[in-house]
Amino acid sequence: MESTPEISENRLQSELVLLLKNLHAKEREGDRMRLPEARDLLQAHLSLDFADYFKFLKRYSYVMINRRDQSLLLTETGRRVAQGKADDEFTRDLREHFQHLLTEEAGFIDLGDGEEEFEKIAPTEDTEGNPKGSAPEPPPPQQRRQQPQAAQSKGSKLDARFTKYDAIGSGGIGTVYRGRHNTLLVDVAIKEIKELFSYFNFLQRTEVVRHLKETVERMAALQHPLIVRIYDCNTEIAHPFFVMDYMPGGNLRQRLESESKPSSTDKLVVFTQVLYALDYAHRKGVVHGNLKPENILFDECGNAHLCDFGMTSLLKTDSSRPVPQLVTGSIAYLSPEQMRDRMMANAQTDIYSLGIILYEMLTGRIPGRRSPLPSESAPDVPKGVDELFEKMTEDEPEKRYPDFDAVLNDFYEKIDGAEFLKKGKVVLFGGLDDEAPGQT
């Protein structure tokens, strides 16, 4: 009889989250995954039998099953965990159900520093009156040079340059924290690559670190006002990280889910800004490869900025072990050719993904095969958007636009550009020649 494999709490949690993420991705496509489909897709990536995970998720009401067609439905609790919001209750449930299997952590790269990845800590006051877990309010400009570092709010120092505070976002690759530049005394965002190792144990640390360094260097070379700037990185420590602009306006996903919905005109302005950012990046030879609403961030003025170019390259591996189909929860935005080869990324895949985002922004849903055109779902959407969307999301790559410059040209040809050319709406560039950039 085959012995039960040694299993750790970390591994169980990451595999359960992986399962829930797959169900959530299917749900966001307007569909449900059937029990046999989920088993066939994920069994190769699980330490235990698929049935053991399903029993747990059903017992503690993270999923429900339709007995007639065996389709799986996430409960609100399960959806929260799939979105990276697991809490202490999830951990307690896991320990209770799998207590007969849990052993000491074995066979994992030691990246731990005692932090719980999903821990939520209520702010408390330190001796200076600043809330712990969030960066201190910046002092007035005239006071910044005189303020001693000792007066800063307490946080977790990454190194002499940066202090890390509360988590502001997380995903399958890492967690983003609000941070502070200790010399310049400005807020920054710090992305730690940590979850990636616990979600997918097929990855080699040396491979991830090498790809991370290459990816961050490419992102840092992109100097465009609508692309999040990279300031620094450190790949020589247990939890590699890179530092970028802090965007206080949140991301597009949060805006789409908020109760106050922006107008179609405002949504098309966001679309236009992302078009210009991608056109610039592609001209520089940098493809995004993983476009989704979570990667479109907003500054305090409401301008859209693109981040996380090329992050899927961190998942490249020389291992012969199978790689999970779902990596970072963005399956709804993948082109047909990316569904066949997750590592594929080029101009046409980015164009397809942005077309899906355009439709979701304007209608509130992911498009399906029989979905109505954008103007049919939202009467205030110009009809010219329909043709734009259809060409961006053609199944065959050669039928899509050849590049983002062609998308921009068609956009201004098919849609009255007056609203999108008002001063302050969008930064426009003449290209990569010697002409000075201007704001139109």
Average pLDDT, the chain: 77
Same domain, yes or no: 73 and 173: no
Same domain, yes or no: 164 and 281: no
Query: With 50 as the cut, is the pLDDT of residue 143 above it?
Result: no
Phi first, then psi, for residue 333 (nearest 5°) are -105, 5
Q: What is the dihedral of CA 326, 327, 333, 336, to 10 degrees?
A: -60
Would you give the DSSP letter of residue 165? E
Distance CA 305, CA 251 (A): 9
Predicted confidence band of residue 203 (pLDDT cuts 50, 70, 90): low
CATH number, residue 396:
1.10.510.10
User: Considering the domain boundaries, does residue 3 fall inside one?
Assistant: no
User: Considering the domain boundaries, does residue 338 fall inside one?
Assistant: yes
For the chain, the domain total comes to 3
Same domain, yes or no: 391 and 428: yes
Same domain, yes or no: 182 and 321: no
204-235 residue pLDDT tens: 667 777 888 888 999 999 999 999 999 899 88
Same domain, yes or no: 345 and 381: yes
| Half-sphere CA count of 111, side-chain side, radius 13 A | 23
End-to-end CA distance of the chain: 73
Same domain, yes or no: 349 and 264: yes
User: Considering the domain boundaries, does residue 107 fall inside one?
Assistant: no
Same domain, yes or no: 263 and 408: yes
Give the gyration radius of the chain's Cα atoms: 23
Highest mean pLDDT range out of 36-45, 152-161, 264-273?
Answer: 264-273
CATH number, residue 48:
1.10.10.10
**The last residue of a domain, from among 245, 265, 297:** 245
Cross-strand bridge partners of residue 233: 242
Predicted confidence band of residue 426 (pLDDT cuts 50, 70, 90): low
**The last residue of a domain, from among 190, 211, 245:** 245
Same domain, yes or no: 238 and 275: no
User: Considering the domain boundaries, does residue 108 fall inside one?
Assistant: no
**DSSP string of 262-303?**
PPHHHHHHHHHHHHHHHHHHHHTT-------GGGEEE-TT--
User: Considering the domain boundaries, does residue 283 fall inside one?
Assistant: yes
User: Considering the domain boundaries, does residue 209 fall inside one?
Assistant: yes
User: Considering the domain boundaries, does residue 315 fall inside one?
Assistant: yes
Residue bearing the bigger pLDDT, 357 or 173: 357
Helix (H) or strand (E) holding 191: strand 187-192
Full residue range of the structural domain in which residue 365 is found: 252-439
Looking at residue 141, what is its pLDDT? 37
Whole-structure pTM value: 0.62
CATH number, residue 185:
3.30.200.20
Q: Which stretches of 114-161 are assigned E, i.e. beta strand?
A: 156-157
Cross-strand bridge partners of residue 74: 63
Same domain, yes or no: 297 and 241: no
Tell how far CA 274 is from the center of its chain.
Answer: 16
Overall average pLDDT of the 7-30 stretch: 86
380-411 residue pLDDT tens: 899 999 999 999 999 999 999 999 999 999 99
CA angle in degrees (0–180, nearest 5) for 289-295-298: 145
Same domain, yes or no: 327 and 264: yes
Which ranges of 157-233 would DSSP assign to H, the alpha helix? Answer: 195-199, 205-220
Same domain, yes or no: 276 and 341: yes
**The last residue of a domain, from among 220, 245, 270:** 245
Looking at residue 229, what is its pLDDT? 95
Query: With 50 as the cut, is the pLDDT of residue 153 above it?
Result: no
Same domain, yes or no: 228 and 283: no
Under 8 Å between Cβ of 290 and 311: yes
User: Which pair of structure tokens corresponds to residue 379?
Assistant: 């009467």
Q: Is 41 exposed, middle or buried (CB count within 10 Å of its CB: 0-12, 13-18, 19+)?
A: middle
Cβ neighbours of residue 412 under 8 Å, at least 6 residues apart? none
User: Considering the domain boundaries, does residue 225 fall inside one?
Assistant: yes
